[in-house]
Chain A
Amino acid sequence: MREYTDKIRQIARRLLEEGKVDRVIGFKKGSMPMMNEPCVIRRPQDADQLIWDGNCGINLANYLTGAKDKVGVVAKGCDSRNIVTHIIENKLDRDNVVVIGVPCQAMIDKRKIAAAVDGEISEVTETDDGKVVVRGNGFEKTFDRAETLQDNCAICVHRNPVICDEPVADPVPEQTDVDRYADIRAIDAMSDAERKAFFDDMFAECIRCYACRNACPLCYCPTCFVDESRPQWVGKGQDENDIRTFHFLRAYHCAGRCTDCGACERACPVGIKMRVLTRKLEKDCKELYGWEAGMSVDQRPPLDAYKPNDPDAFIK
């Protein structure tokens, strides 16, 4: 990861020095174990604040929405696909963004690690030979990095940026034999009652803070339907129907757009696994339209283009 960090700093410094960009968006070291903070660098001499490691799971495309200046952005595979989506949706001009592309080695999941140890973690380090060493008060535990990945990263098949102006390293091999939808098929196979119970349980702890929505680069509506009060589409309290309506509708708004970057699950303070909703729609888009979000700036997404051969078997 050291090489990645060095290269990112070098590129950022050069872009700023040459005046190619007004600012660079990346990550700086956080104040907590397994936390980095998205940051903006405006002067070449500040480029050394930038870092890269397995704790850069926040999707930086979220900070580009509507940008009008020249921006450099550090982007892993999923971020780059959200940048593409921004471009397709006219939220960003391709000419205004310089993608500093990071061939991604997948992000580590702070919750998984916290759950695997007893006691408070004081330090987490990643080694060059693919281990994660976790230290805390009176314990030290080593994990295989592969066991500690965020759920979405473990099944990711697009780790290399799809658009890239300044590569940080050579492409990494993509995973091929992953089953992205095992859990989705299991939910599909449930009876109505089982599925209702599954969702009841899944959302029981949601506090409607909307961190999942706000961490998502796709959720850029000026006023979200859940916030609207005239008309009040959804109740504002803790009623389970309202909570579920929020989650289902948000997922639909992300259909054909979600890149499964996992920022939503990562941001949720209570650990709700809402990606099953977006992945169900991802699966449908793939099966019905052969579509994967954010792969090319030249193709219109299935939900905003009509084709005579669109599947319509569900219409009587």
Chain B
Amino acid sequence: MKFVKIDEKQWAEGIGKLKSGYRVFGPVKEGKDHEFRELTGDASPDMAFSNTRLSPKSVVYPQSEVMFEYTTDESRPDHHILKEPRRDDTPRAVIGIRPCDALSFLLVRRNFDSPEYKDPYWLRNYEATTFVGYGCNDPCATCFCTSAGSAPHDTQGLDALVVDRDGGYAAKAITEKGEALMKAAGWTDAMDEAEAEALFADRAAAAEKKITRQVATDKLAEKPSMDLYDAPFWEDVAFSCINCGTCTYLCPTCWCFDIQDECRGCEGVRTRNWDSCMAPLFTAHGSGHNPRGEKVQRVRQRFMHKLKYYVDKYGEGIQCVGCGRCVRSCPVNIDIRKVCDMMNAYDPEAANDCACPTT
């Protein structure tokens, strides 16, 4: 049972059935935009969305998460002992994740699950999650997934992929996890393999044709880091940035966090919260020194990390999946597509007569 067809009724019933075994997350309309939220009660995913305003990274990597709790009350036997809070390890299912966002989890995994270090918080959540993708039919003008290693119907990082079909959906199981989820949902109405292959291929090709913007990344790896670092365009790229961090909070592939303690009386928790390389405090040392004290250094860091350091460190392409969220939501219209093209085309020899001031 690799391919199944799901009519509207089976779809709705399936979502309901899943809730007995999974915490189900899906797109929900809030105001004009969609967000991934846990679907409780009889909430169902609203599949009429292009993509959500925030990425679904919070399903695995919440904006704020308790690492452990403690008490300093010496009358308690467990005082000064760090205890893990009770966790909800129920399997999670993300319904309707877009292929770009699904790929982002593989990118982020290189950071949280490496030979040297395994992040228990991220990994446990990740491993508990089944990703059910939803192929895009109408990519946005800001989408450039095909330049970032993904595509509107790409299956990397997915356990199952759902596409539109007359009167409902067709679904393809990609991993065992995906197959198990489809079974649990009762989506078992097998589809003719040849017919299904053709449907998936047609949809994929039609959507890919609608991606209008390509971004060049082919020369990033071969450029010396210091050339790019010293390039004269950073001052101009960074000028308008207000260092708000919107781009990093919305981005599915930004993973940085900050650790803080919060206590009330003798009871305390240690939490970790999303952080952003755009914030001056991000790199402030205890000594007062800040190696990235200037805005231009922070903006350069964000783009160099995504488009150069990551490329060099892992050799698996850029740390961006082309979802276009940062392009859409930056209040001052800083556009990673332009910056990437600029970096990719940069030639220090030819830059001598550049109009931009040198840093």
A and B directly contacting (CB within 8 A): yes
Stretch at the interface among B18-26, B77-85, B199-207, B240-248: B240-248
Separation of A46 and B239 alpha carbons in the complex (Å)? 15
Q: Which of B64, B239, B249, B276 contacts A38 (CB 8 A)?
A: B239
A-side interface residues, number (CB < 8 Å): 43
Q: What is the CB-to-nearest-CB distance from B261 to chain A, in angstroms, rounded to a whole number?
A: 8
A211 close to B244 (CB less than 8 A): yes
Given known A46-B355, A111-B32, A211-B242, contact A238–B63 (CB-CB < 8 A) = yes
Query: Known contacts A114-B32, A209-B246; is A238 also within 8 Å of B331 by CB?
Result: no
Q: Are B240 and A211 in contact (CB under 8 A)?
A: no
Could you tell me the distance in whole angstroms from the C-beta of A160 to the nearest C-beta in chain B? 25
Are B244 and A209 touching (Cβ within 8 A)? yes
Q: Which residues of A contact B332 (CB under 8 A)?
A: 37-38, 58
Q: Which of A39, A120, A205, A266 contacts B240 (CB 8 A)?
A: A39
A210 CA to B242 CA in the complex, in Å? 10
In the complex, which range does the number of interface residues on chain B fall in? 35 or more
A207 near B262 (CB under 8 angstroms)?
Answer: no
Q: A25-70: which have CB < 8 Å to B? A: 30-32, 35-40, 42-43, 46, 58, 62-63
Q: Of B33, B50, B53, B246, which is in contact with the most chain A CB atoms at under 10 Å from its CB?
A: B246
* CB of A206 to closest CB in B, whole Å: 11
The B interface, classified by DSSP as helix, strand, loop or mixed, is: loop
Among listed B4-12, B170-178, B302-310, B333-341, interface-contacting one: B333-341
Q: Assess whether A236 is in contact with B271, with CB atoms less than 8 Å apart.
A: yes
Are B338 and A31 within 8 A (Cβ)? yes
Interface presence of B258 (CB below 8 A) = yes
Q: Which residue of A is nearest B271, CB measured?
A: A237
Which B residues are in CB contact (< 8 Å) with A266? 331
Shortest Cβ distance from B249 into A: residue: A209
Say yes or no: B246 contacts A38, CB within 8 Å. no
Contact B242 A237 (CB under 8 A): no
Q: Tell me the minimal C-beta distance from B203 to chain A in angstroms.
A: 18
Instruction: Find chain B residues with CB under 8 A from A215 CB.
Output: 242, 244, 331
Could you mark each residue 77-119 of chain A with 1 if its beta carbon is under 8 Å from any beta carbon of chain B, else 0?
Answer: 0000000000000000000000000000000000100110000
Chain B nearest CB from A148 CB (Å) reads 15
Asked if B260 contacts A62 (CB within 8 A), the reply is: no
**Complex CA distance for A227 and B30, rounded to whole angstroms:** 29
A211, B262: Cβ atoms under 8 Å? Answer: no
Say if the beta carbon of B329 comes within 8 Å of chain A. Answer: yes
Contact, CB under 8 Å: A269 / B250 = yes
- B165 at interface (Cβ–Cβ under 8 A)? no
Contact B260 A236 (CB under 8 A): yes
Docked CA distance A274–B204 (Å)? 42
Interface residue? B142 (CB, 8 A)? yes
A58-B331 in contact (CB<8A): yes
Q: Mark A135-170, 1 if CB is under 8 A from B, else 0.
A: 001000000000000000000000000000000000
Residue of A nearest to B284 (CB): A223
**Which residues, 318 to 350 on B, are CB-close (under 8 Å) to A?**
327-329, 331-335, 337-338
In the bound assembly, the distance between CA atoms of A231 and B329 in angstroms comes to: 32
Q: Quick check: is A229 within 8 A (CB to CB) of the other chain?
A: yes
For residue A55, which residue of chain B has the nearest CB? Answer: B333
A122 on interface, CB distance cutoff 8 Å: yes
Q: Does A191 contact B (CB under 8 A)?
A: no
Bound Cα distance A120, B143 (Å):
12
Using A36-B333, A269-B250 as known contacts, say yes or no to A210 and B258 having CB atoms under 8 A apart: no
Most buried by A among B32, B281, B332, B338: B332
Within 8 Å by CB of A270, from B53, B244, B271, B276, lies: B53
Residue in B30, B141, B246 whose CB lies within 8 Å of A120? B141
A176 beta carbon closer than 8 Å to chain B: no
Q: How many angstroms between the C-alpha atoms of A31 and B340 in the bound complex? A: 14
A214 contacts the other chain (CB 8 A): yes
> Cβ of A232 < 8 Å from any Cβ of B?
yes
* Closest chain B residue, CB of each to CB of A40: B239
Query: What are 8 A-B contacts with C-beta separation under 8 Å?
Result: A31-B337, A37-B240, A205-B30, A209-B245, A211-B245, A237-B260, A239-B64, A269-B250
A-to-B contact residues, CB < 8 Å: 30-32, 35-40, 42-43, 46, 58, 62-63, 111, 114-115, 120, 122, 137, 205, 207, 209-211, 213-215, 223, 227, 229, 232, 235-239, 266-267, 269-271
- Additional 13 contacts, C-beta under 8 A, given A37-B334, A39-B236, A238-B64: A31-B333, A32-B142, A37-B333, A111-B32, A120-B140, A137-B138, A210-B244, A215-B331, A235-B262, A236-B64, A267-B331, A269-B249, A269-B331
